[in-house]
Amino acid sequence: MVNVFKTFLLLAALTALFMFIGEALGGRTGMIMALMLAMVMNFFAYWFSDKMALAMSGATPVSEAEAPELHQMVEILSQKAGIPKPKVYIIPQETPNAFATGRNPNHAAVAVTAGIMRILSKEELMGVLSHELAHIKNRDILISSIAAVLAGAISYLANMAQWGLMFGGLGGSDDEDGNPLGIIGVIIMMILAPIAAMLIQMAISRSREYLADATGARILGDPVPLASALKRLEEWNHRLPMAVNPATAQMYIVNPLRSGNIMHLFSTHPPIEERIKKLLSMK
């Protein structure tokens, strides 16, 4: 419940930030235009997110005959989670990792790398699959899409303000008083607003990872296999980062990219140590 409430507060903060910045920088008309554009763009991203993610990862579907044990695990865990069995894909990479995608539980897919099935034990792999099914059960693709809509709209408003300043046509409100922030305030807002939106969006992503860990542990009935898997996956992904599109990195159970120089606040994934600690506290 803590992570659900945290996600709600972060989405509310993102909404409030968008409304304030939209009114200040673009007026009501600019605010509505930005939101509509972001909604259209993210509607298509949300609707086709599974196909795009699977294509970018190079994942290919596998039948029950090709991967019977993997399909059996997904089937059993799906029943425990109370959701339809998702489609199963394998990514032809040796680095162990996995992700889930799909706009809702009836249109979902789970993808695992070839390496994860060789490196993890059966129990650890069950823990990973439970985490991914938790993302589907919790409708995290929808939550991420809503956050992306608002963050995208805020960035669009900042761009509008930049062009408005360049051509001297920026009006910060719908009345005749001009922009209430003043020229310096507008410039500061143009710089800080997209950063603030991205920070909140990343915080939402981290919150959903914690929630998926907890939900996955409850689906499996034991938090230890997932905690053990996370430790091993983190070690492998540090040693052998995956060649993935950075835009899809947030979907994976652990960050597939080198992240040693990235500040925690800008990370889409919580620290592995914290995730393991929270999982083991559930025993």
Residue 151 has pLDDT above 90, yes or no: no
Summary mean pLDDT of the chain: 81
**pTM (two decimals):** 0.77
Percent of the chain exceeding pLDDT 70 equals 71
As annotated, the binding site includes 131, 135, 209
Instruction: Quote the pLDDT of residue 281.
Output: 96
Residues 102-110: what's their mean pLDDT?
90
Q: What is the pLDDT of residue 174?
A: 43
Catalytically active residues are: 132
pLDDT recorded at residue 177: 47
* Domain ranges (residues) in the chain: 56-164+181-281
Check residues 48 and 209 and name the one with the higher pLDDT: 209
Which residues sit in the known binding site for Zn(2+)? 131, 135, 209
Looking at the domain covering 56-164+181-281, what would its CATH class be? Answer: alpha beta
**101-104: long-range contacts, CB 8 A cutoff, minimum separation 24:** 101/49, 101/50, 101/53, 101/54, 101/141, 101/251, 102/49, 102/50, 102/136, 102/141, 103/46, 103/47, 103/49, 103/50, 103/141, 103/142, 104/139, 104/141, 104/142
Can you give the pLDDT at residue 202? 83
User: What integer pLDDT is reported at residue 169 of this predicted model?
Assistant: 53
Residue 165 has pLDDT above 80, yes or no: no
